[in-house]
Structure 1
């Protein structure tokens, strides 16, 4: 199993995340995709990788985008023949202690085709620490995505997920429109076309305590536009 996190300026969070992950799953492999963090996140990861064979670092120049970072992680998982890749944020908003529950849900269904989604919008899930505007924006983007892309899950925009690598091998990542936040909606669109089944596990998202959120209105609007372009493919195909 591979755990993948994309980082940019997470030096206050990543060491805590790694410690909590090791306490939960001591022998799991961790891939950190760092986009040249000026705060030393990538350097810290590189030093840890020298003493911990389970930690791997992928350093990229500039900020190509969150979506492209997760695509790089998925290609890494495919190339190294993992069975499942779990993606989550390193800012501690996604509790690594939840990963065993994701794996249980994955194993209880068809492991080769089941995508497990950490859901904030089903019974038992929730969000702590967001202003009302961000709540409204998130709910709107999820409704918009479900309607345009005909997706069945309640939470289309979260990044806390487990992906079967067998299914990722069938995805043409070069065809993706998304480089940023809309990647999380677009990958569901592609996986659904490949016959994926989706299972949602409730969890409570807790807003980060350290560092700054990378989302902005401009990035959100770019995501909306990308989802619209994908939606046109779905509707015209129908």
Structure 2
């Protein structure tokens, strides 16, 4: 296992056919966080994204590349990247998209909200749905779906998070060591809901910071019907389990 480089922060960026976006987002990222390091997790992109990432990494020791055998889902890509980060003892681990929808310029503000255990946030979400947050150039049906998914998740799970599906977030490493990453079966964007809820259930502080989410200019969105279906089914299942546990707890208290 290689020694962790000098930076204490690692940004994990999963990629699949992001060749048109990768170089630009990395330039912006290193401008915003010059001492951070980046791990590109590429799922054997047919368009050559992995090869481009290797070429760029050859010229910059802050950039690393993890190649996976094929497209196996966003959740699995993040778990692989998080494992890589934890093995190298990074203190703060960030997840963000490669398509430009997440502005790297927001990261110093998000990281600044973290704190040592018990003194600040343990997880910071870049939120579209708090005061100051917004979306730009999003089709109405995507905006409606996202809003609906977040409201439904908030009500079903009983969490005070407005944008629990956000894929732009910062974790203290302790969170990812605690939440049993390899038990997270969710793929697609439900992975984000699952991990945030696990953090809340484990007692960690989850905060939200407003961001502007901009629809990608190049390439195709990875959102599809299967992703939406998985999220709906899983959140419903978790919500029912939560309510069942609450009912059992109430029943036990009444029988005492």
Normalised TM-score (structure 2) = 0.89
SS at match of 1:106: coil
Contact 1:125 1:203 in 2 (8 A): yes
1:70 aligns with 2:78: yes
Deviations 1:39-82 (A, max 9, x none): 11000111222221111111111211001111112212211111
Residue in structure 2 matched with residue 99 of structure 1 by the alignment: 107
- Structure 2 spans left out of the alignment, 5+ residues: 1-8, 247-256
Task: Report the alpha carbon displacement of residue 204 of structure 1 after superposing the two structures with TM.
Answer: 0.7
Corresponding residue pairs, total: 238
Give 1:235's match in structure 2, choosing from 233, 243, 249: 243
SS of alignment partner, residue 113 of structure 2: helix
Report the equivalent of 2:59. 51
2:221 aligned with 1:213, yes or no? yes
* Alignment partners' CA distance in 2, 1:78 and 1:232: 33
Residue 177 (structure 1) aligned to one of 179, 185, 188: 185
Q: Within 5 Å, which residues of 2 pair with 1:13-92?
A: 13-92=21-100
- 1:202 paired residue among 200, 210, 233: 210
- Determine which structure has more spread, i.e. the larger CA radius of gyration: 2
Partner of residue 222 from structure 1, selected from 210, 213, 230? 230
Could you list the structure 1 runs, at least 4 aligned residues long, displaced by more than 4 angstroms after superposition: 108-113
Worse-superposed segment, 110-119 or 30-39: 110-119
Q: For the structure 1 residues 112 and 169, does the alpha-carbon distance in structure 2 shift closer, same or farther, using more than 3 Å as the test?
A: farther
CA distance in 2, matches of 1:104, 1:10: 29
The TM-score normalised by the length of structure 1 is: 0.95
The Cα offsets for residues 81-119 of structure 1, whole Å up to 9 and x where unpaired, read as 111111111101100011000111114984686210101
* 1:130 pairs with one of 115, 138, 154: 138
Residue segments in structure 1 that go unaligned for 5+ positions in a row: none
Q: CA RMSD in A?
A: 1.6
Q: Distance in 1 between matches of 2:46 and 2:109?
A: 34
Note if contact 2:134-2:212 (Cα within 8 Å) is conserved in structure 1: yes
> Would you say the 8 A contact 2:132–2:210 is kept in 1?
yes
Q: Distance in 2 between matches of 1:109 and 1:199?
A: 14
Task: Report which structure shows greater RCO (CA 8 Å, sep ≥6).
Answer: 1
Which of residues 104, 109, 127 in structure 2 aligns to 1:119? 127
8 Å Cα contact 1:32/1:56 also seen in 2 = yes
- CA change 1:168–1:2 in 2 (3 A) is same
Give the match for residue 4 of structure 1.
12
Secondary structure at 2:20 match in 1:
coil
Check whether the contact 1:111–1:164 (CA below 8 A) recurs between aligned residues: no
Moved more, 50-59 or 104-113: 104-113
